[in-house]
C-alpha cells in the first residue's frame, strides 16, 4: 500500500529525485479480512527510488535489497517472483480479454498461488465472462513456470516468446525485453533468488512495469501453529509473502496539477520503483524459527556487566562503568549498594551478557580487575591499564 | 508528558522491572499554547528505568545520559538544573503554604526562569493567597541559586540547611540528603553540567523525588529568528529547555488495581525514574547552529561513488558495486548507462561523498581502479586485489 502515500509525499513536496527507506506504520484503505492476517494498521519497511533513470537499474537495486535483507535475516529458503505488467497485458490481450477486463482478470490469476487452476478458470469463465478457449490459452501462458520449475529465467522468457500470438504483441515484447535486461543486471549483482513467473499478477492498480514478490515457501514448517494461535495471525504454512513491489511511473502525476497553458496541459510524472517488506510477517517467521530451534535469545545489548565481589564497592563500580561508557562500551551494573556476587553472575548468564568484570578489594589493591567469560566461566586478571584493549579484543573475537 | 503512557504500559503488562529508551510521537493532554511552540503532537525521546533499586543510582544514570547526549550533539553550553520534590515541599511548608497549595505555588515558582521575582511574588500574593512575609521567606529560599551562581551543589544544599525552619523539616532534610548522594554519584560519573537550583518546580503532578531539566541558555544566540519564522516555533533565545525528567514512584500504581483481601488492599507501586528529550527543539537548535556556522551538511551516507570514465561501462560499475556492497560499504553509482564523468564527479562534490572510484578502459585492462579523494581531488591507481583494504583505511582516516 505504501506507494500511494510516498507518491503523495513527492507530489506535495515537488520532489522529482529521491532514494530513501522508511520504517513506519501504514494503513490499508480497503476492508481487510482480519481473520486472514490482513490488518488495517501494520508496520512496513519501504525502499523507494524516484527519478528519471535508465531502464531497469533502480529495479535491480530493489531486487538486490530484497535478496540481501532476506538472506541476512536467515528466514530460510526464499524466492523473489518477477513479472511485468506489459507481459500480463500482452498475455490477456492474446487470449481475447479486453483492456477493460485487465484488473479483474489479474485478480483471478493472482489467486493461482493459493488455488488450483481449475478454480481460477471457473472464476474466469463464470464471473469474468471469458470463453473456455480463452482460459485454455491463458492457462498455457500463466502456468508456464509451474510446468517448468527448473528452467532459467531467460529461457522461460524465450519460451513465452515462441507463442506467435504473444511475439507479435508490441507491449508484450517490450515487457520481455525489459525483464531480460533486469535479469542480466540481477546476475551482475549476484542475485540468485529471482524467478520469472508469468502468474504473478499483484498490485496492478498502480504498477506500470516490473513487479516482484518475495515468498518463503517453507516458512513456519514444523511450527505448531494452533498451539500458539499463530493461525489466526494469518500465516498458514508455506505462504508468507514477505516483500513486494514494482515500478509505478504514473502515481506521482496523479497527485499533481498539470502544467502548461490551457489546452496544452502536460502531466508531470515522476517515475518510481520500490520494495516493501512486511515487518510483522518477518518477525512472525523469525519468532517461529527461534521457537523450533529453541535458541536462547539475547534480550539486552549489554556487552559488559560490572560486578562486585565484596560490600561497599558501589563507587568503584560506578567509576569503572563511567570509564567504559566513555570508551563506547555497552555496560551495566547492579543498581544496588551491596549486591551478592552470585546474583550478579546469574543475571549475566540469564541475559547472555558475554563479559563480566569483577571488582574486589584484592584486585583494587593490585590495580587489576577480574575479567570473566560468562559462557565458559573462565576468569583472568587484567591490569586496569590494559583493560580497554583487552575488552575490545575479547568482544570482537 | 511521557511518564504517563509509560506507567500505563508497565501497569497493563505487569512489568515491574525494565530499562528502555523510546523515540516516538507523544501527545499532550492539556490545551497547549501553540503560538509558544507547545504542540499537542510532537516527537520525544524517553529513557526510563523502572524497578526497586537502591536510592539515586538510576537517577545518576539518567543524568549521565542527558550529559552525554547533549555533549555529543554539540549544541553549545548547557546546564542540567536539579531539585527535589521534598525540598520544594519543605520550603513551601516553612513559608506557611499548606500541602493543598503545593501544586499551585509550584506553578508560580516555575515561572521564575522567564519572569522576574516581583511578578511571581505578586501572583503568589494576589492569586495564590500567600502573605507577604511568606513570599519574602520563600524568595530567600528559591532565589538562593540566583544569588550564588558559582557556588558548588553541596555547598548550596548546606546553605539551605542553615535555615533553621528548613533544617527541622524532616521531608526537606530527606530531600537534601538524597540530592547529596546523587551529586556524589554524578561526580563519579564525571558529570559536570548538573546544578542544584531550588527554583526548579516542574511536573510536580507526578514527580515524587529528584527532578531535573536541561537548559541551553545561549541556544539560538545570533540567529535571525524573525527572518526564518523561528519565533513562531516557540524558541525564544536563551530559553530552550531541551530535556526534563525525574522520579515518579506512584504513577504505575495509579493504573493498577490494589491487591489483597478486602479491607487490607495494598497498592502495588513500581518506582520509576526517567528523562525525556524534546527532539524538535534539539533539531531547531542544531539547524540554527548550522545556519550560523554555514557548515556544509552531508545529506547522504554514501561513502563511495563508482564513476565511469568512458561509455559502456555500466556492467563494470554494477559488478564493482556488488563487490563493495557485499563488503559492507555504502556505495552508489549513476543510474544511467553512459553518464558524463564531470557530472558524476560534480555529484560527489555536491553531496560531500568522500571517495570516488573511477572505472575506465585502461584501468580495467591493467586490473586497477582509480581512487579519487573528492575533497582534495587527489587520485591514485589501486589494484583490485588491494581495493577493499585501501578503501577501509581511506574511510577510517
pLDDT of residue A31: 67
Q: What is the pLDDT of residues A133-161, one digit of tens each?
A: 999 999 999 999 999 999 999 999 999 99
pLDDT higher at A265 or B149: B149
**Per-residue three-class SS string for chain A:** CCHHHHHHHHHHCCCCCEEEEEEEEEECCCCCCHHHCCCCEEEEEEEEEECCCCCCHHHHHHHHHHHHHHHHCCCCCCEEEEEEHHHHHHHHHHCCCCHHHHHHHHHHHHHHHCCCHHHHHHHHHHCCCCCHHHHHHHHHHHCHHHHCCCCCHHHHHHHHHCCHHHHCCHHHHHHHHHHHHHHHHHHHCCCCCEEECCCCCCCCCCCCCEEEEEECCCCCCCCCCCCCCCHHHCCCCCCCEEEEEEECCCHHHHCCCCECCCCCCECCCCCEEEEEEEHHHHHHHHHHHHHHHCCCCCCCCCCEEEEECCCCCHHHHHHHHHHHHHCCCCEEECCCCCCCHHHHHHHHHHCCCCEEEEECHHHHHHCEEEEEECCCCCEEEEEHHHHHHHHHHHHHC
Query: Which of A58-72, A111-125, A290-304 shows the lowest per-residue confidence on average (mean pLDDT)?
Result: A290-304
Instruction: Tell whether the model's pLDDT for residue B37 goes beyond 70.
Output: no
A-chain CB neighbours of B68 within 8 Å are 325
Average pLDDT (A296-300) is: 84
Q: Which CATH architecture has domain B3-293?
A: 2-Layer Sandwich (3.30)
Give A234's pLDDT tier (boundaries 50, 70, 90): very low
Q: Do B335 and A68 touch (CB under 8 A)?
A: no
- A52, closest residue in chain B (CA to CA): B335
- B184, closest residue in chain A (CA to CA): A315
CATH 3.40.50.800 in chain A, residue ranges: 304-396
Instruction: Tell whether the model's pLDDT for residue B232 goes beyond 50.
Output: no
Using a pLDDT cut of 70, give the percent of chain A over it.
92
Q: Do B64 and A188 touch (CB under 8 A)?
A: no
Instruction: Tell whether the model's pLDDT for residue B1 goes beyond 60.
Output: no
CATH fold of A304-396: Rossmann fold (3.40.50)
Instruction: Tell whether the model's pLDDT for residue B354 goes beyond 60.
Output: yes
Q: What is the pLDDT of residues A307-362, one digit of tens each?
A: 999 999 999 999 999 999 999 999 999 999 999 999 999 999 999 999 999 999 98
Q: Do A318 and B51 touch (CB under 8 A)?
A: no
CA angle A201, A202, A204 (to 5 degrees): 95
pLDDT of residue A33: 61
* Coil, strand or helix at B140: helix
Q: How far is Cα B288 from Cα B230, in angstroms, rounded to an integer?
A: 9
pLDDT of residue B218: 78
Instruction: Pick out the residues of the known binding site of A for L-histidine.
Output: 28, 44, 48, 202, 206-207
CATH 3.30.930.10 in chain A, residue ranges: 3-293
pLDDT of residue A36: 55
Query: Which of A201-210, B100-109, B268-277 shows the lowest per-residue confidence on average (mean pLDDT)?
Result: A201-210
Instruction: Tell whether the model's pLDDT for residue B231 goes beyond 80.
Output: no
Query: Which of A10-19, A249-258, A307-316, B168-177 shows the lowest per-residue confidence on average (mean pLDDT)?
Result: A249-258
Please enumerate residues of A whose Cβ is less than 8 A from a Cβ of B: 19, 49, 51, 53-54, 57-58, 60, 64, 68, 185, 188-190, 314-315, 318-319, 321-322, 325-326, 332, 335-337
Q: Do A336 and B189 touch (CB under 8 A)?
A: no
pLDDT of residue A331: 97
- A98 vs chain B: nearest CA distance in angstroms? 36
Q: What is the pLDDT of residues A359-381, one digit of tens each?
A: 999 888 999 999 999 999 999 99
- Closest by CA position to B92, among listed B158, B172, B170: B172
Residue B259 has what DSSP assignment? Answer: B
Q: What is the number of CB-based contacts under 8 A between chain A and chain B?
A: 56
Average pLDDT over chain A reads 90
Q: How far is Cα A125 from Cα A117, in angstroms, rounded to an integer?
A: 12
Q: Does residue B315 have a known ligand-binding role?
A: no
Instruction: Tell whether the model's pLDDT for residue B280 goes beyond 80.
Output: yes
Amino acid at each position: 500500500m505504501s506507494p500511494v502515500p510516498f507518491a503523495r509525499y513527492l507530489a506535495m513536496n515537488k520532489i522529482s529525485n529521491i532514494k530513501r527507506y522508511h520504517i513506519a506504520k501504514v494503513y490499508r484503505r480497503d476492508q481487510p479480512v482480519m481473520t486472514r492476517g490482513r490488518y488495517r494498521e501494520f508496520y512496513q519497511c519501504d525502499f523507494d527510488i524516484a527519478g528519471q533513470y535508465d531502464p531497469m537499474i533502480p529495479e535491480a537495486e530493489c531486487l538486490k535489497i530484497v535478496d540481501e535483507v532476506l538472506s541476512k535475516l536467515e528466514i530460510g529458503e526464499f524466492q523473489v517472483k518477477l513479472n511485468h505488467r506489459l507481459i500480463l497485458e500482452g498475455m490477456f490481450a492474446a487470449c481475447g480479454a479486453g483492456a477493460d477486463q485487465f484488473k479483474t482478470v489479474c485478480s483471478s490469476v493472482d489467486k493461482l498461488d493459493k488455488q488450483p487452476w481449475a478454480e481460477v478458470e471457473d472464476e474466469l469463465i463464470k464471473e469474468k465472462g471469458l470463453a473456455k478457449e480463452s482460459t485454455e490459452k491463458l492457462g498455457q501462458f500463466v502456468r508456464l513456470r509451474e510446468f517448468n520449475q527448473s528452467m532459467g529465467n531467460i529461457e522461460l522468457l524465450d519460451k513465452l516468446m515462441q507463442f506467435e500470438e504473444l511475439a507479435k504483441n508490441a507491449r508484450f515484447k517490450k515487457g520481455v525485453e525489459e525483464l531480460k535486461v533486469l535479469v542480466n543486471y540481477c546476475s551482475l549483482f549476484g542475485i540468485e533468488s529471482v524467478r520469472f513467473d508469468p502468474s504473478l499478477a499483484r498490485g496492478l492498480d498502480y504498477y506500470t512495469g516490473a513487479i516482484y514478490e518475495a515468498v518463503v515457501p517453507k516458512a513456519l514448517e514444523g511450527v505448531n501453529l494452533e498451539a500458539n494461535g499463530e493461525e489466526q495471525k494469518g500465516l498458514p504454512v508455506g505462504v508468507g509473502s514477505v516483500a513486494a513491489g514494482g515500478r509505478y511511473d504514473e502515481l506521482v502525476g496523479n497527485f499533481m496539477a498539470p502544467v502548461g497553458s490551457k489546452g496544452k496541459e502536460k502531466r508531470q510524472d515522476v517515475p518510481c520503483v520500490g520494495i516493501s517488506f512486511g515487518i510483522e510477517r518477518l518477525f512472525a517467521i523469525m519468532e517461529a524459527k527461534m521457537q523450533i530451534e529453541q535458541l536462547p535469545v539475547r534480550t539486552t545489548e549489554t556487552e559488559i556487566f560490572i560486578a562486585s565481589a565484596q560490600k561497599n564497592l558501589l563507587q568503584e563500580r560506578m567509576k569503572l562503568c563511567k570509564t567504559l561508557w566513555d570508551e563506547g562500551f555497552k555496560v551495566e551494573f547492579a543498581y544496588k549498594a551491596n549486591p551478592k556476587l552470585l546474583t550478579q553472575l546469574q543475571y549475566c548468564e540469564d541475559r547472555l551478557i558475554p563479559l563480566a568484570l569483577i571488582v574486589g578489594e584484592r584486585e583494587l589493591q593490585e590495580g587489576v580487575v577480574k575479567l570473566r567469560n560468562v559462557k565458559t566461566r573462565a576468569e583472568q586478571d587484567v591490569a586496569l591499564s590494559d583493560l580497554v584493549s583487552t575488552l575490545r579484543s575479547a568482544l570482537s573475537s
